[in-house]
Amino acid sequence: MSERLFIRLGKTSEHPCSWLVWSEQEQEIIASGELSDAASLSTLAERAGNRPVDVLVPAANMTLTQIMLPEKGQRQALKALPYMLEESLATNVDNMHFVVGPREGEQLNVAAVAHEQMQTWLEWLHHAGLKVKRIVPDCLALPLEQCGWAAMSVGSEYLIRTSEGSGVSVPKAWSDFALPQLLSQAMLNHNDSGPLLVAGYSDDIKFTGVQVEAKPLDLPMMILAKGILNAPINLLSGIYKPKSEYSKQLLTWKNTAIVVLIAIVLALANKGLAIHQLNNHTAEIQAQSEVLFKQSVPGVNRIVNMRSQMGSELRSMQGQGGGAVFFEMLDGLKPAFSKVPELKPNTLRYEANRNELRMQVTAKTYDQIEKFKELVTKDYLLEGGAMNSSEESVTSTLTLRIK
């Protein structure tokens, strides 16, 4: 998108805030204005839309300084940077946010701002619903235009950019005292024999001891908006660096992935429980089948493959010519068993060479066994064995042959 929203915050929440929407493609102002205070920033949320938002903050609310730091060993020295500036700052360095700017020879530009101040600015913008791309000290947005300094009159102060990465905000009431001090320091670093050249962006820039090069006059926010994109320092760094949209999308997908993963785990746990229950049920049926097989085929003590062993037993019966007779006898006993349901067979054994079926049965009373005998003798020759009784049942062995 070629349109951007630029905002310049006031020194406090009660001070006015300026704003401007600039079209980079058309190189023209789309809209501009001034808000009465920080609380009114929320009115810019709709105007911001999806436009990038760049913010200027007062240089008066921070310290822009330089420190002698040779390029050799700079990486190690940067770790101790806050403590190297401790004497020049009135605030505990542990409460300060430091941003390194461009190097100028042996001098390294540094911006120092209190964490409390950073958090205040970010709260204003957050409550207004504004997503910010960069926060820049306002004086560093003044274009130098190949001059030593750049200056602009804004309200009751002068914004002065004194080098590539340093600058200051000077109240006009203090300018007679402060400007000579700044110029004296600047001339020590000024290598040319001529006067210091200052790019002037206001018609009242008349500093003593310098040469002012008047620049085209325009809205102050227009000049700052053009320069902010090339500013050498962005205060949104370190712990204040905004998370990229890609990271936010990853976070959104991460939360979705966690929900999906939990659902998968629960589904697998439920599936595992169902499989466990099915295995238990299968084991129970297997055990019951083995008991019945052992009852049907006496003498089998160990079952390895019940299907195979049962097939072997059936083939053995068929090989002896008695397999069919065995099943015919079992089928013929159905009516007797159905009429005496209390009588149950414990074991069955068929002797193929004798066409003889032996079985041990259990009933609750003698009468039930006698009734069963009476029924089967109609179709079979019966030899009844001894009957044994207990408190709950009567057991007997019966031998049947086909008549």
pLDDT in tens, 20-73: 998 888 888 999 999 999 999 999 998 888 889 999 999 999 999 988 887 776
Q: What is the pLDDT of residues 275-313, one digit of tens each?
A: 888 888 777 777 777 776 666 666 666 776 767 776 666
Q: Has residue 289 been placed in a domain? A: no
Q: Are residues 75 and 164 in the same domain?
A: yes
Q: Which of 18-32, 50-64, 202-216, 348-362 has the lowest mean pLDDT?
A: 348-362
pLDDT at res. 231 = 94
CA angle, corner 356, sides to 353 and 362, nearest 5? 145
The pair phi, psi for residue 30, each rounded to 5°, is -85, -40
Q: Has residue 76 been placed in a domain? A: yes
| Higher per-residue pLDDT: 82 or 397 | 397
Q: Has residue 258 been placed in a domain? A: no
Mean local confidence (pLDDT), 260-270: 85
The answer, as to whether pTM is greater than 0.75, is no
Name the average pLDDT for the chain: 85
pLDDT at res. 101 = 92
CATH code at 338? 3.30.1360.100
pLDDT class of 269 with cuts at 50, 70, 90:
confident
pLDDT at res. 297 = 64
pLDDT at res. 257 = 78
Q: Would the pLDDT of 250 be above 60?
A: no
Q: Would the pLDDT of 247 be above 50?
A: no
Q: Would the pLDDT of 252 be above 80?
A: no
Q: Has residue 137 been placed in a domain? A: yes
End of a domain among 242, 269, 287?
Answer: 242
Q: What is the pLDDT of residues 106-128, one digit of tens each?
A: 889 999 999 999 999 999 999 99
Q: Are residues 73 and 212 in the same domain?
A: yes
CB 55 within 8 A of CB 48: no
Q: Are residues 38 and 185 in the same domain?
A: yes
Q: Are residues 123 and 229 in the same domain?
A: yes
End of a domain among 186, 208, 242?
Answer: 242
pLDDT at res. 208 = 87
Q: Has residue 127 been placed in a domain? A: yes
pLDDT at res. 402 = 84
pLDDT at res. 306 = 67
Q: Are residues 333 and 233 in the same domain?
A: no
Q: Are residues 120 and 219 in the same domain?
A: yes
Q: Has residue 293 been placed in a domain? A: no
Please tell me the distance from the alpha carbon of residue 92 to that of residue 81, in angstroms, as a whole number. 13
Q: Are residues 222 and 364 in the same domain?
A: no
Q: Are residues 45 and 176 in the same domain?
A: yes
Q: Are residues 227 and 326 in the same domain?
A: no
Domain of residue 350, residue span: 322-402
pLDDT at res. 245 = 53
Q: Has residue 260 been placed in a domain? A: no
CB 158 within 8 A of CB 172: yes
pLDDT class of 371 with cuts at 50, 70, 90:
very high
Strand partners, 401: 356, 381
CA angle, corner 9, sides to 41 and 206, nearest 5? 145
pLDDT at res. 319 = 45
Q: What is the pLDDT of residues 320-341, one digit of tens each?
A: 445 577 778 888 888 999 999 9
Q: What is the pLDDT of residues 76-111, one digit of tens each?
A: 667 778 888 887 787 888 899 999 999 888 889 999
The proportion of the chain whose per-residue pLDDT surpasses 70, expressed as a percent, equals 88
Radius of gyration of the chain (CA): 50
The number of folded domains in the chain is: 2
End of a domain among 182, 215, 242?
Answer: 242
Q: Has residue 207 been placed in a domain? A: yes
pLDDT at res. 192 = 63
pLDDT at res. 321 = 46
Q: Are residues 208 and 354 in the same domain?
A: no
Q: Are residues 337 and 238 in the same domain?
A: no
Q: Are residues 237 and 334 in the same domain?
A: no
| Higher per-residue pLDDT: 202 or 351 | 202
CATH code at 119? 3.30.420.380
Q: How many CB atoms sit inside 10 A of residue 365's CB?
A: 13
Q: How many CB atoms sit inside 10 A of residue 160's CB?
A: 25
Mean local confidence (pLDDT), 346-365: 86
